[in-house]
Amino acid sequence: MMRFVVATQNMDKLEEMDRLLRPIGIEPVTLSMAGVDFSDVEETGSTFEENASIKARAAFERSGKPSIGDDSGLAVDALDGAPGIYSARYAGPDATDLDRIHKLLDNMKGVPEDKRTARFVCSISCVLDKDTEIIVTGTCEGSIAYEPKGEGGFGYDPVFLLPDGRSFAQLTDGQKDAVSHRGEAMKLLKQRLSKYFNDKK
């Protein structure tokens, strides 16, 4: 089992990545589990791809191990793509998931159902060595609910509706992995990693 450092302290995110990477022989660990100080790394990119790359490169430089950085968020058409790359900071630096959801719903007041389209986006950068970086992006199309639905998930999951009317927070882990933006990006990453390792044999 190879150990990859994931540039996150979010255990929900690590758990998702663990489910998706372990089957191909990769054990993801958080920054703190790898003993990496990341406190001074700033996400200064203007896109999900740039921020993912900043995180992965910094984790690789500091740990010396293959590293993964991901940047994901919610892009709402009626809000001109907001909250976008600012999804985690949408309601301020110390806001909770609920605070962010409430701000989003407040900003969506009066928006009719057919204009509530949105998508989750996830870009993942994987730095394997100083010369090799893989970047992939997955998306999941949906819409914004009028109120939270479901008890599972995290972040904006309770207000993100799939075309069948279920929110991300109403899905099992397996159901979410099969359709989510991160699941899609991880499938693409797995394909690229498998090719990379096969080519090196």
- CA Rg value for the chain: 17
Q: Compute how many other C-beta atoms are within 10 angstroms of the C-beta atom of residue 141.
A: 12
**What angle do helix axes 11-21 and 181-200 make, rounded to 10 degrees?**
50
**CB distance 145 to 167 below 8 Å:** yes
Query: Active site includes 71?
Result: yes
Catalytic residue among 71, 97, 106, 177: 71
What is the rounded CA–CA span in Å between residue 60 and residue 36? 10
Structure tokens at 187: 């499938």
The residues that are catalytic are 71
